[in-house]
Structure 1
Amino acid sequence: MSRSTSPKTPETPAVENAYAHQIRLFLGAVCFFAGAAIMVVEISAFRLLAPYFGNTIYTSTALIGVILVAFSVGGYLGGRLADRKPALDLIGWLLAAAAVLTLFIPALHMVFSLGLSAYGVITGPLLISLVLFACPGVLLGAVSPASVRFYSLTQKDTHVGMAAGTISMLGSLGSFVGTFVSGFYLLANFGVRGIFVGAGAVLLLLAVASFILAKKAGGPQVQVLIAGLIAGVVGGTSERPPLIGLIHERESFYHHISVYDEGEAPHRRRTLALDSTQEGGMNPDTGELILPYQEYWKLALLREPAEVSSALFIGAGAFGMPENVSRDFPKAAVDVVEIDPQVIEVGRKYFKLDEYPRVNAHADDARRFLRQAGGQKWDLIFGDAYNGRHAIPSHLATREFFQLVADHLEPKGVYVMNIIAAVNGPKADLTAGMVATLRQVFPSVEAFGVGYRKDEPQNVILMCSRENVRALMTDRYVTPGSWQEKLIRTLVPAGTVPRSQVVFSDDHNPVDAIIARGLLE
């Protein structure tokens, strides 16, 4: 009794050769689109998870790691299945199952993300990645080795190397196209939910085509289409309940942007959230600041003369601080460098930016902006750039970057930086490393703890200057209850500022590892 070694084909040699050619073309297309789909899903997944888990290195690491492992498992299973069932409809079932699961991802995200976000910024992304993407990743990973097997069978296993090379090449090209299409087109023009539905629909059509080519009449196609339709409706219509106070929401290349209002005039609070983190806010009726750390730009006023003629803010937040500077010093030239142009547009529409013509917003990376600034200098530079609450852009936390900042400060200028860390205790490694790095560039670095418990993460403000800035606070009288007294009383005593031998540089920058260690503690 002989065993079939190729997908079932017509018996006439000419027809058989034509049919085999069709199969090879189809398998090439399948691997191309499967490779594209996995990259579309992976890149879009960052935007799907960011509102709950943050746009951090932990989210991207968990997501990429889970998909790579799933792809590896799928590769093994695909080869095994193709050996045990050398029939073309196997590709159809793999694609159909992957399509249905991909279509369900938005709905599953709504069910599980909120609950799993309670597990923190490290464990949470890992768990949600397993729930949402492990199974689709395994199924799509199985498509390539199965396709190699069937491609080779159409040539009676005489060109196995060519079959493997062709399938691998087309899968890689598909991944390349999926990456570029996602990053440069899809995320800018479509909602994340719609992207997942579109990717699932493409896989579903390929599955149906596979059954047709395998000459499986009627049944599988109907079953797959019905399952896909149900999954598409559920996934495409899944939306989280309206959030209280939400007045604006949109996706950008960098963030999930939300604007919230609470309270009633004249005591309203309007806040800007990027992904899962509150980035700033103001009273929209008066322009007053509502977050305590935002007041610390005024540290620049402790020196003489007590004025700001020029200021640069790295990270826009809700534009509250630069607008405050412009309101208090109408002649001051105030620049804001913000990497996300959509945040600037939100600032114009919801945070009064257009009412302050002296505040100039630049859509750029802060380091590149400073390199291109030539000889321009500022009295105050305020660093407040974050990718989520726990992620500092690593290239903005190195000795080389701080030297670039120092080169663009006036001789009596100050650099003020906001970080989220503990002032002392086991969670203060980030503060210690930042202070050690800044002292490589600035002779005087002082720390302010904005929170109550100094051993817990909070806003830590670092004030840096070429002059002795501590003397501005310890050798002067300030009126009790004044803004000066409120800021100065949070000054960390000199002997309690944490110390570290680690200096962050472009070559060696363990910022992410330090933050992760602090979170685990």
Structure 2
Amino acid sequence: MSENHVTRKQLLIVAFVSGAAIMTIEIAAARLLAPYFGTSLLIWTNIIGVVLLALSAGYFFGGRIADRRPHVRLLFTLLVAAGAAGIAIPWVVRPIARFVTLDALLLQSGSFFIFIASFAVTLLLLAVPLCLLGMISPFIIKLYSIDQHRVGESSGTVFAVSTVGSIIGTFLPALFLIPTFGTNATITSAGVALLAVGCWGTLHSTATRTAALLLTLIASSFAGSAGIRATSATLYEGESLYHYIRVEQGTDGSRRLIFNEGLGFQSEFHPDRILTGNYFDYYSTLPIFFNSGRKLNVLILGLAGGTISRQLSHFYGDRLHIDGVEIDKKVIDIGYRFFDLGQKNLSVFNEDGTVYLMRSVKKYDIVIVDAYHEELYIPWTMTTLEFWRLVSEKLSPDGIVAMNVIGNPDTKLVRAITNTQASVFQSVFTAGAGENNLNTTVVSGNRVFFSDDLKYDTAPEELWPLIRYLTSTAESVLPDPGGPVLTNDKAPVEFMTDSLMLGQDGA
């Protein structure tokens, strides 16, 4: 094409590709940052804020440059630059994130550090490519309407086509590209598409265009295969629709399932023992609150790799039938592969926990809520008054509900959850989850569970120390009419958790 001529159809192709690239990079950026910062509301706030900031700067400067130098070659040069900057993102994220010494500071500085550090990293990663992409739209509008006076119609057409591209760039990565090829390859594909269109417009011979594109594809192919946070102890590293996932193995053969930034772990497996020494173990004491000969239906919301189901099956066998609900299909597969998931008395359901409860007609004697959307954050939807009412409907008359909450019983988070439960259940108890553990075990239902005449000599002897500690630390929670009640309208669980981690709980 000539220096100053391009067809309107070609300009609309540029608008479509640039619109798709913007949303592809934005969607994939959240997954790219997850291994280092998680996927909390703070991270999405930073990503959206940086994207809007970069685009607004691009619109401003792009409009000025388009008025002064409305040259076709310059438009395609901007595309090439944006594509190159996009392809660089997967290569530079790891050194940039490591530069801020994340691993050493996360637990010390809590959410404030996560917010500041993730904003800085997001700005460094996305500002240049998205600013360049922001410059494309005013440039296209200028060239599209240069020979006519119907600027309104021209700009409307360009924005409509660009928005269609953005729609494709929103759904395609989430539903196909990221689950199939991974985050690195998804971002790289957006950069390659921009480079391909840019080379088509700036290079004149077909041979030169083809050579440039082939070199780009070869160089960028390595980005998709690079490990994200793998170490010598990593047995598995991958991505799902919900998480960046790692399986780490210790020198003793133990394994841990880790999501995202790795502040904690979701499942634990030891080849030579059942008990882990962590809060998981206390769920194995729950059947003592029922007659020893009674068969029990157990529901686990947040099955993960199956640590809890494995322990319950080991100690009680076919006395229990366990239904385990896990939203992430890839996590279920990892459970079978690395964590001995698949006990004979276990039925696994790949489903959202709340949706499962809504459609289930089954009554359960024990309901265990162990779902975490981050290592530290309980999904707020599983803390509300509406959720506990739903759980209550699926509970047998003498059934028991148990969950683990980070913090001691006096923290705002634990008090809010237990006071909400106390609005639904007749009895709510808090108990310690180990002398060296910062967690609280919350037990609730419609009868008294901890009493002086509780008999546990029929329980496996290995569990007796856990039972003694649980009963000795149990305290009844009375409803507080003036206290917080979490609802679907207001449940600031993330902020309560952040305040706790920062030591600013103020309870």
TM range (shorter): 0.7 to 0.9
1:253 counterpart residue number: 241
SS in 2 for 1:111: helix
The whole-number CA distance in structure 1 between the counterparts of 2:215 and 2:63 is: 26
SS at match of 2:232: coil
Superposed, which structure 2 residues align to 1:66-465 within 5 Å? 66-116=50-100, 117=102, 118=105, 120-153=113-146, 155-156=147-148, 158-212=149-203, 232=220, 235=223, 238-240=226-228, 242-264=230-252, 268-277=253-262, 278-286=265-273, 288-306=274-292, 309-331=296-318, 332-354=320-342, 356-374=343-361, 376-424=362-410, 428-450=411-433, 458-465=438-445
Task: State the alpha-carbon separation in 1 of the partners of residues 472 and 45 from structure 2.
Answer: 40
Provide TM-score, normalisation by structure 1.
Answer: 0.85
Q: 1:50 aligns with which of 34, 49, 68?
A: 34
Point out the more displaced range, 108-117 or 96-105: 108-117
Per the TM alignment, residue 204 of structure 1 is displaced from its structure 2 partner at its CA by 0.7
* AA aligned opposite 1:251: E
1:137-182: per-residue Cα shift (whole Å, max 9, x none)? 21111211221111111x33x1100111011101110010111111
CA 1:231–1:96: 2 relative to 1, 3 Å: farther
The 1-side partners of 2:117 and 2:431 are apart by 31
In structure 1, what is the Cα distance between the partners aligned to 2:217 and 2:346?
A: 51
Deviation of the 1:274 alpha carbon = 1.8
CA RMSD of aligned residues (A): 3.0
Q: CA deviation at 1:352?
A: 1.3
> Structure 2 vs 1, CA of residues 180 and 380 (structure 1 numbering), >3 Å: closer, same or farther?
same
2: CA distance, partners of 1:422 / 1:68: 40
SS in 2 for 1:503: coil
Deviates more, 1:272-281 or 1:299-308: 299-308
How big is the shift at 1:299?
A: 4.2
1:271 shift after superposition? 0.9
Residue segments in structure 2 that go unaligned for 5+ positions in a row: 107-112, 458-462
Shift of 1:366: 0.6
C-alpha contact 2:301 2:326 (8 A) present in aligned 1: yes
- Percent identical pairs in the alignment equals 29
CA contact (8 A) 2:430 2:443 kept: yes
Q: Which amino acid aligns with 1:272?
A: L
From the superposition, tell whether residues 121 and 208 of structure 1 become closer, same or farther in structure 2 (CA, over 3 Å).
Answer: same
Q: Is the 8 A contact 1:316 1:336 kept in 2?
A: yes
AA matched with 1:440: S
Which deviations, in whole Å up to 9, do the C-alpha atoms of 1:248-271 show, x marking residues without a partner?
22211111221121133xxx3211
Structure 1 residue 87 displacement after superposition: 1.2
Q: Is the 8 A contact 1:435 1:499 kept in 2?
A: no
> Residue 289 of structure 1 aligns to a residue in which SS?
coil
Distance in 2 (alpha carbons) for counterparts of 1:401 and 1:434: 11
Whether contact under 8 Å (1:449, 1:459) holds in the other structure is yes
Alignment partners' CA distance in 2, 1:226 and 1:330 = 59
For residues 102-146 of structure 1, give each alpha carbon's deviation from its aligned partner in whole angstroms, at most 9, with x where no partner exists. Answer: 111111111012343335433332222112112212111121122
The 1:336/1:222 distance shift into structure 2, 3 A limit, reads closer
Query: 1:450 is matched by which residue type in structure 2?
Result: A
Deviation at 1:284, TM superposition (A): 2.9
Matching residue of 1:14: none
SS class of match (1:127) = helix
Determine the C-alpha separation between the residues in 2 that align with 1:197 and 1:141.
19
The answer to whether the Cα contact below 8 Å between 1:251 and 1:257 also exists between their aligned partners in 2 is yes
Other structure's SS at 2:187 match? helix
The alpha carbon displacement at 1:324 in A equals 1.7
In the alignment, what sits opposite 1:484? 467
Deviation (angstroms), 1:357: 1.8
CA contact (8 A) 2:237 2:246 kept: yes
How does the TM-score come out when normalised to structure 2? Answer: 0.87
What's the counterpart of residue 512 of structure 1? Answer: 494
Look up the SS of the partner of 2:303 in the other structure.
coil
Deviation at 1:339, TM superposition (A): 0.2
Q: Which runs of 5+ in 1 are unaligned?
A: 1-6, 10-18
Tell me the CA shift for residue 276 of structure 1. Answer: 2.4
Separation in structure 2 between the aligned mates of residue 345 and residue 233 of structure 1, nearest angstrom: 27
Q: Distance in 1 between matches of 2:472 and 2:99?
A: 39
Q: Secondary structure at the match of 1:482?
A: helix
Code of the residue aligned with 2:276 in structure 1: it is: I
Residue 64 (structure 1) aligned to one of 48, 53, 63 = 48
- Could you report, residue by residue, the CA deviation over 1:459-494 in whole angstroms, capped at 9, with x for unpaired residues? 22211111123x43x565879972211323443586
Distance in 2, Cα, partners of 1:506 & 1:334: 28
Q: Which has the larger radius of gyration?
A: 1
Query: For the structure 1 residues 329 and 444, does the alpha-carbon distance in structure 2 shift closer, same or farther, using more than 3 Å as the test?
Result: same
Deviation at 1:377, TM superposition (A): 1.0
Are 1:103 and 1:228, in contact at CA under 8 Å, matched by a contact in 2? Answer: no
Q: Does the 8 A contact of 2:305 with 2:341 survive in 1? A: no
Cα separation, partners in 2 of 1:489 and 1:124, compared to 1, 3 Å: farther
Give the match for residue 467 of structure 1: 447
